């Protein structure tokens, strides 16, 4: 694996994560918190737009770690699978990919003050 390639893949996946943040905002605005919402698969195939149905709480749990991504079960991505559920998996980026993912963590912009407050204790 070439380092540039790993960085590029992580950056591509961060773009999908940013799209999912928009979906999450709409979900919050519409107060759909008890319903399952179709987030986008964040695997390393940029042509993949498969939906993953997640509740607000589960999505927030993934997003609370800036190096974690959610993918359709069996899709390809770099990193270690930290959790497998029905139909999807949660993957933690390691190495260079993890650095890129953490750098581009959309939650670092403070748009979700409640989740940040919980982390800082």
Are the C-beta atoms of 73 and 88 separated by less than 8 Å? Answer: yes
The piece of 32-40, 73-81, 91-99, 107-115 that touches Zn ion (CB under 5 A) is: 73-81
| Closer residue to Zn ion, CB minimum distance, 43 or 100 | 43
Quick note: the x/- pattern for Zn ion over 25-64, rule CB under 5 A, is ----------------x-x----x----------------
Long-range contacts of 54-61 (CB under 8 A, 24+ apart): 54/88, 56/24, 56/27, 56/28, 56/32, 57/33, 59/20, 59/24, 60/115
Q: Tell me 75's DSSP state.
A: -
Q: Tell me 41's DSSP state.
A: P
User: Is residue 75 a contact point for Zn ion (CB under 5 A)?
Assistant: yes
The piece of 7-15, 60-68, 69-77, 96-104 that touches Zn ion (CB under 5 A) is: 69-77
User: Is residue 12 a contact point for Zn ion (CB under 5 A)?
Assistant: no
Interface residue list for Zn ion (CB under 5 A) = 41, 43, 48, 72, 75
């Amino acid at each position: 694996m070439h380092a540039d390639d790993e960085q590029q893949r992580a950056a591509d996946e961060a773009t999908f994560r940013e799209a999912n943040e928009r979906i999450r905002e709409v979900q919050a605005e519409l107060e759909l918190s008890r319903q399952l919402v179709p987030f986008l698969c964040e695997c390393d195939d940029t042509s993949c737009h498969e939906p993953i149905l997640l509740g607000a709480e589960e999505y927030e749990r993934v997003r609370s770690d800036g190096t974690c991504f959610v993918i359709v079960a069996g899709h390809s991505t770099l990193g270690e699978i930290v959790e497998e559920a029905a139909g999807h998996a949660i993957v933690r980026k390691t190495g260079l990919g993890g650095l890129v993912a953490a750098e581009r963590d959309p939650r670092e912009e403070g748009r979700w003050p409640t989740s940040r407050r919980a982390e800082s204790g």
